[in-house]
Amino acid sequence: MKKALLAATVVASALTATLIVAPAANAGDRSAVPFTEATVTAGADGSFALTWKAPGSKRVEIRANGKVVAKGGAQGRAVVTGLPAADRQWFDFTPQHGQGLRLADRLIKLDGTTNFRDAGGYRTTTGQWVRMGEVYRSDALARLTPNDLAKLRRLHVRTVFDLRMEDERSKDADKVPAGAGYVVADVFAGSGSFQTMPRTPDEAVKAMVDAERAMVSGTGGKKAYAQVFEGIERDRARSVLFHCTAGKDRTGWAGATLLTALGVPRATVEADYLASNDYRRAANDAILSHLPAQQAAVYKPLLDVRPEYLNAGYDEVEATYGSFDRYLKDGLGIDARELKQLKKDLLVG
């Protein structure tokens, strides 16, 4: 199974990324940020599709590089072309009244990764938004090119948390941008997870569900995710990056935990988690296409992310701690003061 997970990082793909956002809150919600939806989607041709909903705003203006590139009413869509190449193209969504948003496409296009993306850009149940450009999530960094590393340095990646096991780290050692700190946060340390290869698709699904539960209640998982949260909360000059091999399971739970702690709705958290299937589709399809049908059927659940995997993590939280807040406090050591500071740092509105 470990070979399957490691192999999943070999094939790179160029995907068109979409910024997934939280659904609109209740109509009566009055937030400092009037946007209930806002998306930036990068096209393969260099264009950007922008959409927004800002109920009650008669006018919305969007700027890129200091220039107005789109405008409209409370709800709109625009396609922007002709912008100069940039590491990330940012758009400032400015409503007639209230606080605006600074958004970019979620995917960070690198030659050596397929699933490197921003953890922010989502709306919470209180109408606030998770800042972008602060926390990133990714698959393995072993194949980063010099250009990739220079790009991450320009994106101010300061701390890298490696969630992988020792043999993964030894075989494919991380490359990190100059000046960035590197922290081992082995989620499965001492857990015994992934020691044998499943023989059937059902066994593969069970292995993934059991692994998700171990991320929550296992000693290694609690320690590793506590390290990640502490690093995010402590480093006010972030950006912080956490990753595993495929950027979908251990990284997926880290992302889900962070977004849930910040108040992002469960449906949005799940959509972000499942997005790895889209970002990794070409890589996963290439792996499966080279396997005999029976073996591919066993491997596919290992390469997928599925709602039942994520739900197993939340179920383990409920069974072990009783609530998500207790998981944060008792499992990860995040008290009310630290959570309040984290929200202050990472939320807009």
The CATH number linked to 36 is 2.60.40.10
From 15, 142, 214, 244, the catalytic residue: 244
At 236, the pLDDT band (50, 70, 90 cuts) reads: confident
Asked if the model's pLDDT at residue 30 lies above 70, the reply is no
Count the neighbouring beta carbons within 10 Å of the beta carbon of residue 67: 7
Asked if the model's pLDDT at residue 273 lies above 60, the reply is yes
Do 258 and 138 have their domain in common? yes
End position of a domain, from candidates 105, 140, 164: 105
Determine what percent of the chain is predicted with pLDDT higher than 90: 87
Across 290-296, average pLDDT: 95
Asked if the model's pLDDT at residue 17 lies above 50, the reply is no
Q: For 53, phi and psi rounded to 5 degrees?
A: -140, 125
Do 273 and 303 have their domain in common? yes
CB 185 within 8 A of CB 163: yes
Q: What is the pLDDT of residue 309?
A: 98
Asked if the model's pLDDT at residue 9 lies above 80, the reply is no
What residues contact residue 240 under an 8 Å CB cut-off, 6+ apart? 134, 135, 136, 157, 158, 159, 161, 228, 231, 232
Helix 266-279 vs helix 250-262: crossing angle, to nearest 10: 150
Do 43 and 131 have their domain in common? no
The CATH number linked to 266 is 3.90.190.10
**Per-residue pLDDT tens over the stretch 225-234:** 999 999 998 8
Asked if the model's pLDDT at residue 129 lies above 80, the reply is yes
Q: What is the pLDDT of residue 93?
A: 98
Do 53 and 145 have their domain in common? no
Do 97 and 209 have their domain in common? no
At 348, the pLDDT band (50, 70, 90 cuts) reads: very high
Asked if the model's pLDDT at residue 191 lies above 90, the reply is no
Q: Which of 186, 171, 187, 182 is nearest to 241 (CA)?
A: 182
What residues contact residue 27 under an 8 Å CB cut-off, 6+ apart? 55
Do 168 and 248 have their domain in common? yes
End position of a domain, from candidates 105, 140, 174: 105
- Predicted TM-score (pTM) of the model is 0.90
Do 89 and 123 have their domain in common? no
Q: What is the pLDDT of residue 197?
A: 85
Across 92-120, average pLDDT: 97
For tokens 């296992």, the residue is 218
CB 257 within 8 A of CB 178: no
At 193, the pLDDT band (50, 70, 90 cuts) reads: low
CB 200 within 8 A of CB 234: no
CB 261 within 8 A of CB 334: yes
Do 101 and 115 have their domain in common? no
Active site residue 244: yes
**Per-residue pLDDT tens over the stretch 34-91:** 999 999 999 999 999 999 999 999 999 999 999 999 999 999 999 999 999 999 999 9
Do 236 and 211 have their domain in common? yes
Do 194 and 225 have their domain in common? yes
Q: What is the pLDDT of residue 315?
A: 98
The first and second tokens of residue 92, run together, are 């400032």
Q: What is the pLDDT of residue 6?
A: 35
Do 96 and 115 have their domain in common? no
Q: What is the pLDDT of residue 182?
A: 97
Q: For 92, phi and psi rounded to 5 degrees?
A: -100, 110
Asked if the model's pLDDT at residue 24 lies above 50, the reply is no
Do 80 and 123 have their domain in common? no
End position of a domain, from candidates 57, 88, 105: 105
Q: Tell me which residue range forms the domain holding 71.
A: 21-105
Rounded Cα distance, 259 and 265, in Å: 8
Q: Which of 238, 268, 272, 240 is nearest to 255 (CA)?
A: 272
Q: What is the pLDDT of residue 281?
A: 97
Q: Which of 241, 254, 243, 246 is nearest to 332 (CA)?
A: 254
From the number of C-beta atoms within 10 Å of its C-beta (0-12, 13-18, 19+), residue 237 rates as exposed
Domain count, the chain: 2
